[in-house]
A = this chain, B = another copy of it.
Amino acid sequence: MREHYTITELTREFGISTRTIRFYEDEGLIHPIRRGRTRLFRPSDRNLLKNILRGKRLGFAISEIREIVQMYREPPGEAGQLRAILRKVADRRGELEQKRRDIDDMLGELEAAEEACLTRMAELGVGQTSRSG
């Protein structure tokens, strides 16, 4: 595990721009340390970025991702705040389960579409090159 990563290393690894990473810092999602003015990303920062991009792929907004990654930090010492986090965790879990149902439904539709295409090709007497599923 490396000590630090530069911003451009992370842009290459994750296929995003420096602007994007700096934007996430401006938005308070990530807090790299500095050597002079230059950002240095620790492995934990890199991991956090990975989490952020996961959230993006799942369609969460920046404001939501901010809330989510805040839940991953050291739990606070106050009971009310802990309960608030637990509630949010439960909410997000519900959302994710909805998304999973959405994925399954969508996969079902795709399969139906594929079947329809294959049937149509058979009708036309067209040979297929390969079959994925």
A: residues with CB less than 8 A from B are 51, 54-60, 68, 71-72, 74-77, 79, 82-83, 85-86, 89-90, 92-93, 96, 98-100, 102-103, 105-107, 109-110, 112-114, 116-121, 124, 126, 128-129, 132-133
Contact = CB atoms under 8 A, between A and B. Distances in A.
A124 to B, nearest CB: 6
B89 A110 contact: yes
A32 B124 CA distance: 31
A85 B54 contact: no
Contacts of A109: 51, 72
B54 A93 contact: no
B129 A113 contact: no
Contacts of A85: 113, 117
A86 B116 CA distance: 10
Given A82-B120, A83-B129, A120-B77, A89 B113 contact: yes
B102 A114 contact: no
Contacts of A79: 121, 124, 126
A112 B74 CA distance: 11
Contacts of A96: 103, 106-107, 110
A103 B114 CA distance: 25
Contacts of A57: 59, 98-99, 102
